[in-house]
Amino acid sequence: MAEIQNVGVVGCGLMGHGIAQVAAQAGYEVVVREVDQATLDKGLGKIDKQLARAVERGKAEQADADGVRARIRGTLDYADLSPCDLVIEAITEDLELKRAMWREVDGIAKDDAYFATNTSSLPVIAQAAATSRPERFLGLHFFNPAQVMKLVEVIRCVTTSDEAFGVGVEFTQTIGKIGVQTRDSAGFIVNRLLVPYLLDGMRAYEEGVGTITEIDEAMKAGAGHPMGPLTLSDFVGLDTLGSICDVLFDEFREKRFARPPILRKMLAAGWYGRKSGIGFYDYSGEAPAENPGLVR
């Protein structure tokens, strides 16, 4: 099996920064690429914060945290991905953007490098086909926060070779995650089941079954979930959720995957959840409070 030493991560946002951190924690040399310095600094800043927090809580030694950080190099230049053995994509959930990005990376990466997408719902084959190496392409789907969530869905598309799939499985193990194999079907396992549940949480709110807080509290206390569906929707990002449900709806044409009207209105208002400071909750105060615009 090919040995992976250098890992490239494209995108240092919500998912990319976490993927870069877990890879560096496992000893890989990581290059993470962003589109502009401000976005890169923001993502690297999140890694610094997580590492500092681990040291503060006695979960890591300062020297180890420094070692992890030293293994992560930020860049704006695709050319810096040239030494990478594995490149993981974690950019916006937009197929055309992803395909354009892969065409760029394909021209720079080593011939024997493997490519993986962290897409949450788009067909892996649609990205693999944009490269000159569809047999070396697979899906590695991480969950937010990538530093904490144990699962990685390892997705084999129709062109993925046994070798490339094996590299994905082995990489997942070396970073301490649980790899579950899934087919290249929209939403894979987790989002196929989770997204209709989150959308149902929104519909329950729209229909007045409970308030935002009541729905969340009920699912936490009654079903043992760490976050209620509306908190989790804000956490995932309502824009990302909107893109995922569009892909699922296109694929299956079932109402349970369609955007509920409240989601459409919230996205039109620019309320993307925690990342924009407001979603089902307003995050501007000490503790999250129900979004007053929704309560009216």
Q: Is 284 noted as a catalytic residue in this protein?
A: no
Burial of 286 (0-12, 13-18, 19+ CB in 10 A): exposed
Q: Does 224 bind ligand CAA (CB under 6 A)?
A: no
How many CA within 13 A on the CB side of residue 53?
7
Q: Is 153 noted as a catalytic residue in this protein?
A: yes
Residue (of 90, 128, 135, 130) closest to 112 by Cα position = 135
Q: Does 57 bind ligand CAA (CB under 6 A)?
A: yes
Q: Residue 3, Cβ neighbours under 10 Å: how many?
A: 7
Q: Does 227 bind ligand CAA (CB under 6 A)?
A: yes
Residue (134 or 187) nearer to ligand CAA, CB: 187
Among 58, 224, 226, 292, binds ligand CAA (CB under 6 A): 226
For the CB of residue 176, give the shortest distance to ligand CAA in the complex, in Å: 13
Mask of contacts with ligand CAA, 162-201, x by CB under 6 A?
----------------------------xx--x-------
Among 39, 75, 82, 147, binds ligand CAA (CB under 6 A): 147
Residue (159 or 191) nearer to ligand CAA, CB: 191
Q: Is 191 noted as a catalytic residue in this protein?
A: yes
Q: Does 50 bind ligand CAA (CB under 6 A)?
A: yes
Residue 24 region, left (φ>0) first, then alpha (ψ -120 to 50), else beta?
Answer: alpha
Q: Map residue 84 onto helix, strand or coil.
A: coil
Q: Which of these is catalytic: 153, 233, 243, 291?
A: 153
Question: At residue 54, what is the residue type?
Answer: A
Burial profile 97-117: b = 16 or more Cβ within 10 angstroms, e = fewer: ebbebbeebbebbeeebbbbb
Q: Map residue 247 onto helix, strand or coil.
A: helix
Q: Does 145 bind ligand CAA (CB under 6 A)?
A: yes
Positions marked catalytic:
120, 141, 153, 191
Binding site residues, ligand CAA, CB under 6 A: 50, 53, 57, 59, 120, 143-145, 147-149, 190-191, 194, 226-227, 232, 236, 240
